[in-house]
Every structure is written in C-alpha cells, then in structure tokens.
Amino acid sequence: MKFGLIFSVAKSLLLARWKQTLVAAIGVTFSIAMFISLLSFMTGLNDLLDGLIMNRTPHILLYKEIQPSKQQPVELDFRYKDYHNFVSSVKPKNERLDIRNNRAIIDVLEKDKRVLGIAPKITTQVFFNVGVINLNGVINGIDVISENELFLFDDYVVAGNYQDLNNIPNSIILGKGAAEKMLAQIGDVVQVTAVTGQQVQLKVVGFFQSGLLEFDNVQSYASISTTQKLLSESNNYVTGIQIKLNDVEQALPVAREYEQLFGINALDIQTANAQFETGSFVRTLISYAVGITLLVVAGFGIYNILNMMIYEKMDSIAILKATGFSGRDVKNIFITIALCIGIFGGLLGLVFGYTLSSIIDQIPFITAALPTVTTYPINYNPNFYIIGGVFSIITTYLAGYFPSKKASKVDPVVIIRGK
Amino acid sequence: MTGNILEAKGITKYFHDPVTFQVLKNISFAIKGGEFVSITGKSGCGKSTLLYILSTMDTDYEGELLIDRVSMKGRKEAELAKVRNVKIGFVFQFHYLLNEFTVLRNVMLPALKMAAKSPEEIEHQAHEKLKILGIESEALKSPNKLSGGQKQRVAIARALINDPIIIMGDEPTGNLDKKNSENVYQIFKELAQAYHQSLLIVTHDAEFAARTDRIIEMEDGAILNN
C-alpha cells in the first residue's frame, strides 16, 4: 500500500515530464544496446580467433620428449654417491618416442571423471616425393572418430569426407597449402617417405584448412593404423594422448598429476597457449570498459533530468512534506522515478541489443582463412544480458540517489514562505 | 473535544541571517478543542514564523510545543511528518495542489499516506469532504481547470481528509477576492460550529479576525493581547 502510493506519485511526476523522461530512457536504452552488441560481437570474435587454436589444442597432451637422462650411471653407484661427479658431453638417450603401455594409461583416463574425452595420436615427419623434389611435411595419425568429437575435425576438412580416412585404406587428408604445392587433387596418389626410409603411396581423400597458413602448408592427416604401417610399427604404437577435460581451468593441476602418475611429459593448454588467454582477456576488458562508460554517461543524463524535475516540482515536494510525507518518502519517490527510467530503458536496451546482435550475425563475413565462418561471429551469452540489466539498474539508482537526497532535504517552510 | 489540544510554552526563535535577530519572544498560549482562533498582526511581526513552529515544520526554536498533550521537542523528522499527517490540516495562502493529480486524488493523498483505511473508503470520504465544501462536481477535474476560490476549497478539503485535531491556515484568504474570502470564512465558521473543528488562522485581514472566537494579536515577536 505504502509503495503503491509512492509509485503512483512517481508515475504522475514521470508522465508530467514524459518527453524528458523518454530522452533519459533512450540514453539508457542506447547504452545497454551498445553494451550488449559490443560484448556479443567482441567475444564472438574472440571465441572465433581463440577457437582457431584452442579447438585444435588438447587441454592436456601426454607425450614423451627426447631428453638427456636426468640421472647418469655414475650417480647410481654407491661408491661415488658422496662425490661431486662431473659428466661432460651428455647426449640424449636413444629412446623410442612412443608412449609405453599406452593402453593401460588410456584405460585409467577413461575412468577419470574429470576427463571429457581422449584421442590418441601419432605425429611423424615425412617427405612428400613430388617428381624430383621432396617436400617437408608432418603426418598426424589420428583416431578419426574421437578426433572429430573432441576437436571438430570435420569443420576443417574443406573438401572430401573425413570418414574416408577410416573407410579407404592408405588414405590421407592433405593440408590445403601442401596440396596446392603438389597440385594434388582428390583421388590422386601421393608418394610419402617416412623417417625410417620406407616409401608408401597414399590416396588423397580430402583437404584440410585450419586458417593458419603455416599449419596448412605442413600438416596432413591419416588414420592411426595407416601411420603405424608407414612407420612399420605395431598397432599399439602411439606418440601422444590428447585429453579434453570437462573444466579447462583444471588443466594445469591435472597435467601435473598425470606427469607424476604415468611418468611422462604432460603439457597443459594454459602453458601452451598463454598468449591467447591474455589477448582475449584484454579485448574483453576493453569491451566492458566501453560499455560501462556508455552507461555512466547515460547515468549523468538521468541525474540531470531528475535535478531539473526537483527544481520544477519544489512546490509539490513542499506540500507533500507539509501534509505528512517524510523526507524518506520523498526520496523514495524520486528513486522510484530513476529506477523506472532505468528498468524501462534497460529492458528496451536488452531487446535492441539482441536485435542488433542478430543483425550483425547476418552480415556476411567470408574469408579464405576461416572456412567454417560465413557471417560475423556473435556470442549470445546470457551473462551479458544479466550484467547489462543489473548495471542499468545500479547506474540509474546511483544517478537517482543524489537528486533524491536533495529532494528529501527540501525545507517546506522556505518554499511556502517564499510565495 | 476538551482540554488543550495545542500548547506553546515560552517559544523563542532567532533568525541568524544576516544578523542575529529575535523573531519570537517567549510566546505562550494554548488552544482548546473546538476553538476558532486567529493570529493577527502587522506583516513582519512573526506570526507566520510562529505558525510554522506550531505546525512542526520549523524545528529550530527554544521553548516547548505540545500537540495533543505530547511534546514535539527532539522528535525525528519522520515522526513529525506523521504528526502533520494525522493531527494537522493545512491551508496556505497559495493552494499548492498537484496538477498531475485530479482534485479527488489531491484530497485523498494525505489519507493514502496515513493508510489507516482502504483506498475505497478514502475515496468515499474525499467525496464527502468535497460535498461539505460544495465542489463535489469538480472531483474528477484537474486542479488547473478550477477557479482560485474553488482551488482554495479543494485545499481545505485536503486539510480535512484525515479528521485532524486542528486546522492551521496561513493567510488562507490572502489571495482571494472579497466574495471568495467571505466564502472561505463561512466554511471555517461552519466547520467550527457544526463539526467542532479547531482552527488556528494567521491573517492580517482585521475584518476576518474580528469574526473569530478569539484573537491573538502580535507585535514585534510578542503577544500583545490574547
């Protein structure tokens, strides 16, 4: 009841100056709409750029690195244990690159609840023999099904069908850049020399384009079994295990844990791609700063209009106070006015922001580097709408607070005597 | 109503701007229930200042003020607002009606604030008050469509809505012509006689004052005769 009265007084004051009120509300609408569309567009773009790398990067990569032995034999001998042993010209051990006992490791990982999925992988250097010259290349032997599930492999296969890697024996998907150099078409056969010296003929079943030129010039894909054959290895030869976690933020601690547990190297995504994280963070920060600046400007608009309204309505405030409205009631009336402007303008802003984002989403954006993208990217994250809504209410409340306080301090005696 | 509904005990007030100046000098008097009292005096003698102190709107004074036998000294702003809302009705020289509301709603406002009754009851009551003042037909108009005399009658209806123990008027006829002043006087008279409404009216209209039950005459911040 009490609020109903305050609201009705606020409403009539609002409607008495509806043009100014509308201008104030439009200010809020505009700033919220810009805030939403700016953030949606900016984070959409961020996600796209990060996705170029991040989508293709496992959260944790288990691999074995060729490195010198940490303990030299002399140190193991009890006779020299208390000595300072100097060993010069230490060389890396002659070790196999594959992950030993990988079947058991995969079994353990599959039972781990933090793990979303696993994709084993073989990476190997090759030469593509094209006429008289040899082109450098890397073949990634992949588990086609899980690679597609975890790393959206299909999105980057621009020609041909990725499943042919499984269906057609001795097949390869060439990087777009490599294929252009070799003038290879789908259905052609390319000759490949492995590091072991073995030569194999592989049938081209598709082209791959990630959007990163350097990557596409070198990388090619084959199935795990094809790669094992190429290297003359048994069918349990795997050089890397790619892991996707349910929570990316856990990558670092989990990587440390696996390193201990399995006694191999583990690389987490944050360490591997620290610069991307920083880039997105700064871009997002700038978007927020611009959005909030717009809102603050709108807040000043509301502040001005309320101040003016209070000067105009001095008489009304005085009589309200004379007839028994307390300072607090008067303050609540003006804060209600400010909040009405904020809520109304904010809601409209959310709608316009969504509309504007949808329009941007329709604008064609075709670039050779990004085969999967046809329109400008937009991130419809509901959080932006929540933040925008909450912020519009907070700013208008603050903008209304000071004028309201002034109104509550109006001394009715001064006004009434002044007449 | 019997007994003192309003009592002033040694009220003294100073103005400090531009120089310290004593406006009210040790003013003491009391008003009984149902009395029709006027305060007169030359302009600048402090009669309006006194009224604003009596109405609780001005709290910067020395001495004691009792309304309905309760001291108003040291009360919080919100408490005083409540006293004004419930116990005092105001009529000013200027009507101070809110143009954003209809006449009816203007009259209802103080009662809606008090919130002792349902809005339907309050509306019914407001209609009755307007009827007493003979302007019921204007209830749904906007105040700026009314004549000066009608506006002042609406202001009186608004003062009456919460059945206050006293109505205070600051030159309620000051802005009105002869005919309308007479009208307002007749209304006050009727309120005092038929409804035993206590009234305290500040006026410099000697003719108006002369016809009230009791005149308090002031000069230079003190009561000359009571």
Nearest CA of chain B to the CA of A23: how many Å? 20
Nearest to A324 among B84, B94, B96 (CB): B84
- pLDDT, residue A204, reads 92
B→A contacts (Cβ < 8 Å), by residue, are: 48, 52, 55, 57-58, 77-78, 81-82, 84-86, 90, 92-94, 96-101, 109-110, 112-115, 158, 162, 170
Q: Per the CB < 8 Å rule, is B110 touching A324?
A: yes
User: A31 pLDDT exceeds 50?
Assistant: yes
* Percent of residues, chain B, with pLDDT higher than 90: 0
For residues B19-43, average pLDDT: 87
Give pLDDT, residue A1.
Answer: 43
pLDDT beyond 60 at A105: yes
Chain A residues lying within 8 Å of B92, measured CB to CB: 322, 416, 419
Q: Kindly list the residues from chain A whose CB atom is less than 8 angstroms away from the CB atom of residue B55.
A: 322
Whether residue B81 and residue A316 make contact (CB cut-off 8 A), yes or no, is no
Model ipTM value: 0.84
For residue range A247-264, list pLDDT tens digits in order. 888 888 888 888 888 888
Instruction: Give the model's confidence band at A137: pLDDT under 50 very low, under 70 low, under 90 confident, else very high.
Output: very high
Instruction: Provide the percentage of residues in chain B whose pLDDT is more than 70.
Output: 99
Cross-chain Cβ contact A416/B92 below 8 Å: yes
pLDDT digits (tens, 9 = 90+) for B128-161: 888 888 888 888 888 888 888 888 889 889 988 8
Which candidate from B96, B97, B114 shows the least CB-CB separation from A324? B114
Cross-chain CB nearest to A324 (options B81, B97, B99): B81
- The pLDDT mean for chain B works out to 86
Q: Do B82 and A326 touch (CB under 8 A)?
A: yes
> What confidence score (pLDDT) does residue B1 get?
43
Q: Which residues of A touch B (CB under 8 A)?
A: 1-2, 5, 9, 12-13, 15-16, 315-316, 318-329, 411-413, 416-417, 419
Strands (E), B57-213: 62-67, 70-71, 88-91, 166-170, 198-202
Residue from B24, B50, B98, B123 whose CB has the most chain A CBs within 10 Å, to mutate: B98
pLDDT exceeds cutoff 70 at A418: no
Q: What is the pLDDT of residues A176-203, one digit of tens each?
A: 888 888 888 888 899 999 888 888 899 9
pLDDT at position A368: 64
pLDDT-derived band of residue B2, with 50, 70 and 90 as boundaries?
A: low
Determine contact, residues A55/A370, Cβ cutoff 8 Å: no
Instruction: Give the mutation candidate from B43, B47, B57 for the A interface (greatest A CB count, under 10 A).
Output: B57
Task: Report pLDDT for A369.
Answer: 62
Chain B residue with Cα closest to A18:
B100
Å between B151 CA and nearest CA of chain A: 14
Q: Do B143 and B98 meet the contact criterion of CB atoms below 8 Å apart?
A: yes
